[in-house]
Chains A and B, each alone.
Chain A
Amino acid sequence: MATKLNPLEQFSIERWIPIHVGGIDVSFTNSAALMALAAILVTALVALGTSRAALVPGRWQSVAEIFYEFIANMVDENVGHEGRQYFPFVFTLFMFILLGNFLGLIPYSFTFTSHVVVTFALAAVVFIGVTFIGIVRHGFHFLRLFVPTGVPLVLLVLLVPIELLSYCIRPFTLSIRLFANMLAGHAILFIFGSFVVGLGIFGIVPLALETAFVLLEVLVAALQAYVFAILTCIYLRDAIHMH
């Protein structure tokens, strides 16, 4: 091929409606549009699913109930009964990321979860919120989270900084895991897609691989939303029950 294709071009942000407020760029971008679409779709699914709630659920109500029960079970198993009040947050987070990942898989659309600024904002909300909950519930005793029990005093000198570091690094691992998975997956799809075009009739071989990769990406899209939600639950359990 004559032109060099850039696999990262698909992640470029485009200003659809340029808006500038006092020197700050708050333009309505393709990323913002996809986020709004995801939020609208989640709201529509849950609102329509429960608007005519029946004892024997219809199609839409079944879908909404499957998601609801999935997350409700996850919160119950990982956080316990006290986690019930945080269920709406985990549910919203999971549905938003899931829809973002799946909308990104549609050809020529945009994956907003492939931007580290988006995933880091989500992870920072989780991190700050969980730390806040822990401090409110346990006060000064929250610091015991960093001191493992039943460890000799000499080892504590080494272990406390490690525990502290592993706690502070959580928002970074949480956000980079999601963003890197999305970025790598879409870049691989693009690269194999360009092989299909470049090889002509022999492109059928990478086409088969591309199909397999799309299936893998569907799995990864659902799995990463699940992982983000379950790690949020695990962090909440740490803050509420202190190990």
Chain B
Amino acid sequence: MDVEAAKAIGAGLAAIALIGAGIGIGQVFAAFVTSIARNPAAEAQMRPVALLGFALAEATGLFGLVMGFIIFYVF
């Protein structure tokens, strides 16, 4: 197989990381919404925790992007 084509396929496969990031972000905010519904008074305390969880989950998807860049520009 052509190396350029293999690189493009590899970079595309690296985008699979977004599945995990999507599930993670969805779960973080699902739990956030549920907990607000249960106890609306505690929203202010839960917001920073939810945002921290969102940022950590989002970062795992971006590791996939970094893999894509490495595949394209390092090899």
Interface residues of A, Cβ cutoff 8 Å to B: 173, 176-177, 180-181, 183-184, 223-224, 226-227, 230
Contact = CB atoms under 8 A, between A and B. Distances in A.
Interface residues of B, number: 13
Interface of A is mostly: helix
Given A227-B55, A230-B52, 4 more contacts: A177-B59, A180-B59, A181-B59, A223-B55
Contacts of A184: 62, 65
A224 B55 contact: yes
A176 B66 contact: yes
Interface in B21-41: none
A188 to B, nearest CB: 10
A122 B51 CA distance: 22
A177 B59 CA distance: 5
A181 B63 contact: no
B9 interface: no
Given A173-B59, A227-B56, A180 B66 contact: yes
Contact of A227 (B52, B63, B66, B69): B52
A224 B63 CA distance: 15
A223 B63 contact: no
Given A223-B51, A226-B51, A181 B62 contact: yes
A177 B62 contact: yes
Contacts of A183: 65, 69
A180 B55 contact: no
A243 B62 CA distance: 28
Which 10 pairs, one residue from A and one from B, show the smallest C-beta to C-beta distance?
A180-B62, A177-B59, A227-B55, A180-B66, A223-B55, A184-B65, A184-B62, A180-B65, A181-B62, A223-B51
A100 B66 CA distance: 21
Contacts of B56: 177, 227
